[in-house]
A and B are shown apart, each in its own frame.
Chain A
Amino acid sequence: MESSKQKRCRSSVVETIEAPLPLVWSILRSFDKPQAYQRFVKSCTMRSGGGGGKGGEGKGSVRDVTLVSGFPADFSTERLEELDDESHVMVVSIIGGNHRLVNYKSKTKVVASPEDMAKKTVVVESYVVDVPEGTSEEDTIFFVDNIIRYNLTSLAKLTKKMMK
């Protein structure tokens, strides 16, 4: 009931990447290496490996992310809620940090593009988050969409370079 007092907002960002699905997914699913494609991540340290699965890849894993200077936050603590290699779905929650993103949960789904299933991949990242006090819902969505879009654009450039 308390959470219902805080206004929530949700949005989705879609990006088509000119790379085969297995390559795209292999980068996205590496929970312990977000700096590979996330633009504002400086470094990442695994706090706990969670139960079962490979090191740093099991459900419940928690990572401490250090963000680059100049960004409106220094660190973020994030937990892997789900990782499904068959349906190519990853769910991540943010459980701490000084970025003003509270009760943030995102779901990233990767599918082969109907246009060209062998060479194109569609990434859909959907999220819900509390609207911070003093900020409008519109601005919150703009801000988070922007960060996700930058990350996916960076992912596209990375995969393009890897295929050369």
Chain B
Amino acid sequence: MADICYEDETSACESRPLWSSRKWRIGVQRFRMSPSEMNPTASTTEEEDKSEGIYNKRNKQEEYDFMNCASSSPSQSSPEEESVSLEDSDVSISDGNSSVNDVAVIPSKKTVKETDLRPRYGVASVCGRRRDMEDAVALHPSFVRKQTEFSRTRWHYFGVYDGHGCSHVAARCKERLHELVQEEALSDKKEEWKKMMERSFTRMDKEVVRWGETVMSANCRCELQTPDCDAVGSTAVVSVITPEKIIVANCGDSRAVLCRNGKAVPLSTDHKPDRPDELDRIQEAGGRVIYWDGARVLGVLAMSRAIGDNYLKPYVTSEPEVTVTDRTEEDEFLILATDGLWDVVTNEAACTMVRMCLNRKSGRGRRRGETQTPGRRSEEEGKEEEEKVVGSRKNGKRGEITDKACTEASVLLTKLALAKHSSDNVSVVVIDLRRRRKRHVA
């Protein structure tokens, strides 16, 4: 036992700063305690108190995650969305129990990697100056749970769909695309993200074509009476977030932008018909791009890729462009949004605005903030943290605070877009990516 402990310490020292190592060691000890033993003793030092706070924070996040399974998150965009999430959450509850049991029976000598649970996120979606709302947003934290002998990880799904022609294709994507991605993810052993996403999008496209041919959705409010709705389609920008990677699959002119170390890093490229490679592809397929209020495929559609729009195939394809980005400590947040935002707000401006929102709300959590905090204030924060350990409601509130910051950031971006006279629906998702750390438990 002594040797094993020594190895752990050595490994920690090699890979982490000394201070971080101390936190890590204390965290390990805490993990093995039962909940009743978690109350800090009066003799703890200020430093130890901070370490406990960090562990308690993670524990509260875990409780919040389960609480989120039982009740709707305030950040949900609509009752319908809440309903959908609840269904998925029911599945998650079962998986969660299984995971807990597995952890309990794992021998203490083995190293178990456990990652943070769901990231904070917020969403805002407004009709804006258009007559109808044809955007849709899908939020599915922990939609895939992977369990191996040595680790358990959760993947999180976020999708933004901007419909055109009518709303039912985007609505269908919201209901189904994450399920298709989930199926592909669970059946794929090699985690070949490009192929997984391409198959998911192709299946989604075929579903909306087939579905449109048989019956029109009862929720579809348009007055279209045509026998087929093949002039209806949607963009789809999807992000799957794993402990190690950010995967983005994009089809159309919505966009995903990562904020890394204060800088905007686009993770998708808009599919505009006059993008040189898209123009070549369309022309080689026998199509044509005409400038009629912007570049349009056959003069009609202002994007070169979309789910649906069967009448414009093969010129308008549903094949997504996929990017896989390794996560780093510098990653701050991810923004998914429709062109209602990006047509009037630059990537850099959006990142700057979101950054201000998130930093304002969670400044205390930053290291620099900690080091600059006066002793008295630090004591007060310690007390607050102790109090918040007590009840799940307070944990929920704590979680809400961070989600609230993401939601406020999303709302602020939509307001900015409207102020800049965006003429479209605007939908924005902000996902907080900070403090993604692995913990080793032995």
Given contacts A68-B165, A71-B165, 17 further A-B pairs with CB under 8 A are: A40-B231, A42-B223, A68-B164, A68-B166, A68-B224, A69-B130, A69-B134, A69-B164, A69-B166, A70-B301, A72-B292, A72-B294, A143-B292, A146-B299, A147-B300, A157-B226, A157-B228
Contact B290 A37 (CB under 8 A): no
> Nearest Cβ distance between residue B281 and chain A, in whole angstroms?
19
Contact B290 A139 (CB under 8 A): yes
Q: Is A43 an interface residue (CB 8 A)?
A: yes
> Nearest Cβ distance between residue A126 and chain B, in whole angstroms?
19
Main secondary structure of the interface of B (DSSP, over half): loop
Contact A35 B130 (CB under 8 A): no
0/1 interface trace, chain A 120-162, chain B, CB 8 Å (1 if under): 0000000000000011000100110011001000100110010
Chain A residue nearest to B134 (CB atoms) is: A69
> Nearest Cβ distance between residue B301 and chain A, in whole angstroms?
6
Contact B300 A72 (CB under 8 A): yes
- CB-contacts of B109-138 with A (<8 A): 130-132, 134
Q: Is B150 an interface residue (CB 8 A)?
A: no
Q: Is A29 an interface residue (CB 8 A)?
A: no
| 16 A/B residue pairs, CB under 8 Å, sorted by A | A35-B223, A35-B224, A37-B226, A68-B224, A69-B134, A100-B292, A139-B290, A142-B288, A142-B290, A146-B298, A146-B300, A147-B300, A157-B226, A157-B227, A158-B226, A161-B227
Taking residues whose C-beta sits less than 8 angstroms from the other chain, chain A's interface range is: 20 to 34
Q: Which residues of A contact B292 (CB under 8 A)?
A: 72, 100, 135, 139, 143
Contact B291 A135 (CB under 8 A): yes
> Nearest Cβ distance between residue A39 and chain B, in whole angstroms?
5
Task: From known contacts A71-B300, A72-B302, A139-B290, infer whether A36 and B225 are also in contact, taking CB-CB under 8 Å.
Answer: yes
Chain A residue nearest to B311 (CB atoms) is: A150
Interface residues of B, Cβ cutoff 8 Å to A: 130-132, 134, 163-166, 222-228, 231-233, 288, 290-294, 296, 298-302, 311
Task: From known contacts A142-B288, A146-B300, infer whether A68 and B231 are also in contact, taking CB-CB under 8 Å.
Answer: yes
Task: From known contacts A154-B226, A157-B228, infer whether A70 and B302 are also in contact, taking CB-CB under 8 Å.
Answer: yes
> Nearest Cβ distance between residue A101 and chain B, in whole angstroms?
10
- CB-contacts of A78-101 with B (<8 A): 100
Q: Is A23 an interface residue (CB 8 A)?
A: no
CA distance A26 to B290 in the complex (A): 34
> Nearest Cβ distance between residue A72 and chain B, in whole angstroms?
4
Chain B residue nearest to A33 (CB atoms) is: B225
Q: Is A73 an interface residue (CB 8 A)?
A: yes
CA distance A31 to B376 in the complex (A): 78
CA distance A127 to B300 in the complex (A): 19
CA distance A40 to B222 in the complex (A): 12
Chain B residue nearest to A41 (CB atoms) is: B224
CA distance A121 to B108 in the complex (A): 81
Chain A residue nearest to B233 (CB atoms) is: A70
> Nearest Cβ distance between residue B61 and chain A, in whole angstroms?
40
Task: From known contacts A69-B130, A157-B227, infer whether A139 and B166 are also in contact, taking CB-CB under 8 Å.
Answer: no
Q: Which residues of B contact A73 (CB under 8 A)?
A: 293
CA distance A135 to B30 in the complex (A): 71
